[in-house]
């Protein structure tokens, strides 16, 4: 049976409708995929296929960069030199302040000497004037006696005037007319008058010297004050400069200010450690020289003791022999009743352990050192003599007073008044001196006390306390002495 045409046509239409919907869905999926793919792929410029040319600095630019780097390094080096120079400047000012302080001590010392000389000269002049007056009175008594005895009063009348004795001596006739005793009085009077005039001149000169010394002391005091003020001002100014320089270093080196400051302090500490190592080496060499000298001294003393022992033994043998000979010549039977001559043991000469100083003085050296050590931490003060502020010579003066040794408050005079020794003779308590001219002790300006093992204690300079340092912490010392 055939399908009706309507029905057949309707079936095609239905089939075609299903096929159309499926195609639309497929087309939509394809379009979606394509759209997604299109969105996933970036849009490339037309020139993407061509590489960019590299940036190549010109030779001029490279040269400018090199110059900038070199300039930066040079600025860093310059600032570091400025910091080092600032530290050296502070040290130099400290030294100058110490020198000025000791110059003031010297001026005061010379003033004290001038006053003592003036007082002594005035006393001599007064005593001479007193003697002159007594002699003039004696001549007057001679004149009175001559007058009462009928002498030629007219010739001796000038005695009663102010210049009478001298005028009388100038007259040969009068000199012959007086007695020999009176002539002796005239001669003594003349000599005394000459000495009196001389003492008066010396007294006047001493007064002038005192005035000059007073002026010098005032000038030295002003110089010391100015030096200390300059040092104090420099400490403040250099402190500000230091902070600014370290800030510049931090900027140039592209580091923090704290790191720059820490680095600079580290460099300075390293420099101090190197200096300390050099000082320690020199101190060790000094210790070795002192040990070698002491060993040689001990050998010499041992040889001296051995020689003395041999001589003592020989002396005893000689005495024993003489005793036996005396006993042989003794006719008495009972030799036991005879009192044999006493033989005293020769005394061994005492040896001075200090090489020159008195035993009592050296016995007090420990007191001297202990006193100085108790002052550690006390601050420096120019002209200071204690009890809690010191300058260099004030400290050594007070320390040696503990052993009964009187030293002036002036380093030059201290060296002048003690025994001079060599460097390898140093022992604890000895004094060490620094000078401007190593050949001229008159230029000494600093003194410290030796402690042994290459160390010393001293009052260094303004701004620093009494402290222990290597003998070579600064410059090698020039002179050495033992009170």
The per-residue pLDDT for 361 is 53
In terms of domains, do 282 and 242 share one?
no
> Mind listing the pLDDT tens digit for each residue in 24-72?
544 455 444 444 444 444 554 545 567 777 777 777 766 666 666 666 6
Number of domains in the chain: 2
74 shares its domain with 109: yes
Question: How many other CB atoms are found less than 10 A from the CB of residue 399?
Answer: 28
Query: Do 242 and 270 reside in the same domain of the chain?
Result: no
Do 170 and 265 lie in one domain? The reply is no
Which of 253, 273, 304 finishes a domain?
253
User: Do 188 and 264 reside in the same domain of the chain?
Assistant: no
- Give the rounded percent of residues in the chain with a pLDDT score beyond 90: 23
Q: What is the predicted pLDDT for the residue at 336?
A: 52
Q: Say what the pLDDT of residue 230 is.
A: 79
Q: Domain boundary residue among 213, 233, 253?
A: 253
pLDDT at 246 exceeding the cut of 80: no
pLDDT digits (tens, 9 = 90+) for 260-302: 677 777 877 887 788 888 888 888 888 888 888 888 888 888 8
- Write down the H helix ranges in 51-179: 59-148, 153-156, 164-170, 172-177
Q: What is the pLDDT of residue 265?
A: 78
Q: Name the residues annotated as catalytic.
A: 392, 446, 458
Query: Domain of 273: which CATH number?
Result: 3.90.1720.10
> Which single residue is written with the structure tokens 């000169």?
205
Over residues 89-145, the pLDDT tens digits come to 877 888 888 888 888 898 899 888 888 888 888 888 888 888 878 877 777 776 666
Q: Is residue 466 part of a domain?
A: yes
Residues 199 and 283 in one domain: no
Cβ neighbors of 390 (< 8 A, separation 6 or more) are: 375, 378, 380, 381, 384, 398, 459, 466
Q: What is the pLDDT of residue 478?
A: 95
Tell me if 82 is assigned to some domain.
yes
Strand (E) or helix (H) holding 449:
strand 444-452
CA 386 to chain centre: 18
Lowest mean pLDDT among 249-258, 267-276, 309-318, 371-380: 249-258
Q: Do residue 141 and residue 186 come from a single domain?
A: yes
390: pLDDT strictly greater than 90: yes
Which residue range is the domain that position 111 belongs to? 62-253
Query: Which among 301, 278, 280, 288 is positioned nearest to 426, based on CA atoms?
Result: 288
**Domain of residue 214, CATH code:** 1.10.287
Q: Is residue 28 part of a domain?
A: no
Give residue 161's pLDDT.
56
Residue 52 belongs to some domain of the structure: no
Picking from 186, 219, 253, the residue at the C-terminal end of a domain is: 253
Q: Is the pLDDT of residue 156 over 70?
A: no
Determine, yes or no, domain membership for 472.
yes
DSSP code of 447?
E
pLDDT band at 368 (very low <50, low <70, confident <90, very high): very high
Please check whether residues 95 and 172 belong to one and the same domain.
Answer: yes
H helices within 149-256, ranges in order? 153-156, 164-170, 172-177, 180-253
181 and 136 in a single domain? The answer is yes
Query: Is residue 12 in some structural domain?
Result: no
Place of tokens 């002038």: 208
Do 144 and 280 fall into the same domain? no
DSSP string, 296-363: HHHHHHHHHHHHHHHHHHHHHHHHHHHHHHHHHH---S-GGGS-PPP-PPPPPPPP-TTSSS-HHHHH
- Region 190-205: mean pLDDT is 78
Looking at per-residue pLDDT, the higher value among 9 and 446 belongs to: 446
247 located within any domain: yes
Do residue 66 and residue 114 come from a single domain? yes
Q: Are residues 200 and 184 in the same domain?
A: yes
Predicted confidence (pLDDT) per residue in 392-448, tens digit: 999 999 999 999 999 999 999 999 999 999 999 999 999 999 999 999 999 999 999
Say if 6 falls within a structural domain.
no
What are the residues facing 385 on neighbouring strands?
A: 390
């Amino acid at each position: 049976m055939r399908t009706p045409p309507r029905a057949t046509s309707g079936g095609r239409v239905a089939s075609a409708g299903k096929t159309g919907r499926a195609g639309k869905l497929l087309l939509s999926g394809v379009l979606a995929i394509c759209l997604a793919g299109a969105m996933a792929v970036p849009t490339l410029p037309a020139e993407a296929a061509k590489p960019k040319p590299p940036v190549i600095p010109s030779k001029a630019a490279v040269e400018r960069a090199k110059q900038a780097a070199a300039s930066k390094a040079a600025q860093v080096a310059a600032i570091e030199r400025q910091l080092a120079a600032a530290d050296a400047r502070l040290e130099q000012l400290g030294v100058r302040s110490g020198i000025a302080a000791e110059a003031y001590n010297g001026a005061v010392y010379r003033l004290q000497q001038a006053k003592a000389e003036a007082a002594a000269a005035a006393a001599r002049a007064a005593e001479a004037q007193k003697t002159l007056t007594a002699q003039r009175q004696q001549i007057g008594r001679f004149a009175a006696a001559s007058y009462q005895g009928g002498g030629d009063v007219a010739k001796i009348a000038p005695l009663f005037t102010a210049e009478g004795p001298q005028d009388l001596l100038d007259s040969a006739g009068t000199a012959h007319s007086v007695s020999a005793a009176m002539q002796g009085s005239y001669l003594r009077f003349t000599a005394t008058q000459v000495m009196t005039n001389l003492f008066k001149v010396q007294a006047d000169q001493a007064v002038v010297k005192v005035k000059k010394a007073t002026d010098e002391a005032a000038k030295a005091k002003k110089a010391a004050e100015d030096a200390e003020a300059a040092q104090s001002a420099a400490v403040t100014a250099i402190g500000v400069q230091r902070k600014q320089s370290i800030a510049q270093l931090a900027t140039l080196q592209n580091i923090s200010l704290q790191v720059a400051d820490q680095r600079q302090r580290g460099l300075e500490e390293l420099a101090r450690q190197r200096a300390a190592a050099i000082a320690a080496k020199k101190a060790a060499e000094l210790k070795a020289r002192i040990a070698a000298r002491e060993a040689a001294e001990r050998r010499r003393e041992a040889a001296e003791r051995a020689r003395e022992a041999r001589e003592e033994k020989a002396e005893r043998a000689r005495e024993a022999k003489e005793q036996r000979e005396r006993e042989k010549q003794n006719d008495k039977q009972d030799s036991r009743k005879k009192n044999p001559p006493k033989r005293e043991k020769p005394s061994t000469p005492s040896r001075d352990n200090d090489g020159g100083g008195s035993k009592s003085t050296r016995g007090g050296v420990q007191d001297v050192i202990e006193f100085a050590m108790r002052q550690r931490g006390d601050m420096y003060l120019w002209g200071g003599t204690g009890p809690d502020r010191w300058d260099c010579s004030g400290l050594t003066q007070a320390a040696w007073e503990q052993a009964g040794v009187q030293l002036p408050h002036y380093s030059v005079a201290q060296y002048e008044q003690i025994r001079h020794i060599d460097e390898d003779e140093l022992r604890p308590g000895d004094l060490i001196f620094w000078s401007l001219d190593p050949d001229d002790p008159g230029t000494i300006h600093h003194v410290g006390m030796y402690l042994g093992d290459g160390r010393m204690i001293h009052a260094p300079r303004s701004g620093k306390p009494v402290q222990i340092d290597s003998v070579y912490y600064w410059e090698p010392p020039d002179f050495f002495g033992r009170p």
